[in-house]
């Protein structure tokens, strides 16, 4: 078996008295498209926040490609190859769509300290930015201030910024939240395509079960900060623990 791209051992995260994550052992092989599901408050977003060191874990370790990244600051984790898109859209609102991507690309290519060259003058970055914009179908909006985009497009741009960081592992927190059915469908296909064509491992959370069962290779189910089930979509659907976790919810 190949080495896991992402592995966590005994991740614990407390918010005061409340234990949001309760000893998560998790392993993700490279190339997989994995969904994390669970009821509200199960700890999905917190899990992402701990992996990317937005918050420090109370206990446990995170390994990326075998390397311990538990205590690395977020910006270093990004440079290693983990990026994320956010559940609550997180962009640079006073910059245009193109500039948003350009900044991510400049950073990944370590050009932040160039003070006297024109940021928009790099042909390689222009090309790459437009390639990604085409991928997420935002090519025609390149010069729009991103603060003025429609919700679905903002969500796509958030994903595009994640892609621009040249990740090996992409974390998507509810990538289709708030999208129209058409947008949801195109985004779902897009995620599948990114995983297969760009060879990026993807870990995503999602509320929309039709999306999850349509594209995920495997599913991990979180409930009250613990992994309660894991496996192929069809197995998870039958799992008793999962049904209990979602009891009262339509599943």
Partner 1 sequence: MLDRSVLWRNRNRLIPIGAVVVLLFALPAFIPEYELYLVNTILIMAIFAYGWSLLFSYAGYLSFGQSAFYALGGYTVAIMYRDVTGSVWLAFLAVLGISAVGAAVIGALSVRRGRIYFAFLTLSFAMMIYAVVFRWRGFTGGDDGIPSVMRGALDFGLFQANLEPTANYYYFTLVIALIAIAAMWKMVNSPFGYTLKTMRDNMERASFIGVDVFKYALIAFVISGVYCGLAGALMVSLCGMAYPELSYWTVSGDPVVACLIGGAYTFAGPFVGSIIYVLVRSYLMALVGNWPLCLGIILIAVVLFFRTGIMGFVSERFKVTL
Sheet holding 18-28, edge to edge: 18-28, 6-15, 59-64, 67-68
Q: Which is nearer to partner 1, 86 or 204 (CB)?
A: 86
Cβ proximity to partner 1: between 13 and 226 the closer is: 13
Q: How far is the CB of 52 from partner 1 (least distance, A)?
A: 7
- Residue 39 CB, shortest distance to partner 1, in Å, is 26
Q: Give whichever of 103 and 222 is closer to partner 1, judged by the CB atom.
A: 103
- Residues at the site binding partner 1, with contacts judged by CB under 8 A: 52, 54, 73-76, 78-79, 83-84, 86, 90-95, 99, 102-104, 106-108, 111-120, 161, 164-165
Chain center to CA of 219: 15
Shortest distance in whole angstroms from residue 92 CB to partner 1 = 4
Q: Is 14 exposed, middle or buried (0-12, 13-18, 19+ CB in 10 A)?
A: middle
Shortest approach of partner 1 to residue 147 CB, angstroms?
A: 9
φ and ψ at residue 175, rounded to 5 degrees:
-65, -20
| Residue closer to partner 1, measured from CB, 120 or 189 | 120
> Which two structure tokens, joined as six digits, stand for 12?
């614990």
Rg (CA), the chain: 18
* In contact, 125 and 135? CB cutoff 8 Å: no
């Amino acid at each position: 078996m190949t080495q896991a791209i992402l592995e966590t051992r005994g991740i614990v995260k407390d918010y005061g008295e409340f234990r949001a994550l309760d000893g998560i052992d998790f392993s993700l092989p490279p190339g997989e498209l994995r969904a994390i599901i669970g009821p509200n408050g199960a700890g999905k977003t917190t899990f992402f926040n701990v992996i990317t060191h937005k918050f420090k874990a109370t206990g446990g370790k995170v390994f990326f490609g075998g390397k311990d990244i538990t205590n690395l600051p977020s910006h270093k984790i990004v440079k290693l190859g983990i990026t994320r898109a956010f559940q609550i859209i997180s962009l640079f609102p006073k910059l245009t769509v193109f500039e948003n991507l350009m900044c991510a690309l400049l950073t990944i290519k370590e050009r932040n300290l160039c003070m006297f060259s024109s940021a928009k003058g790099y042909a390689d970055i222009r090309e790459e930015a437009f390639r990604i914009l085409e991928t997420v179908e935002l090519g025609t909006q390149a010069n729009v201030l991103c603060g003025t985009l429609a919700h679905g497009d903002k969500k796509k741009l958030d994903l595009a910024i994640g892609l621009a960081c040249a990740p090996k592992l992409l974390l998507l927190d509810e990538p289709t939240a708030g999208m129209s059915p058409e947008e949801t469908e195109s985004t779902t296909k897009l995620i599948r395509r990114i995983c297969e064509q760009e060879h990026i491992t993807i870990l995503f959370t999602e509320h929309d079960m039709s999306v999850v069962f349509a594209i995920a290779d495997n599913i991990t189910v979180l409930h009250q900060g613990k992994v309660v089930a894991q496996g192929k979509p069809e197995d998870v659907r039958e799992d008793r623990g999962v049904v209990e976790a979602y009891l009262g919810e339509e599943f």
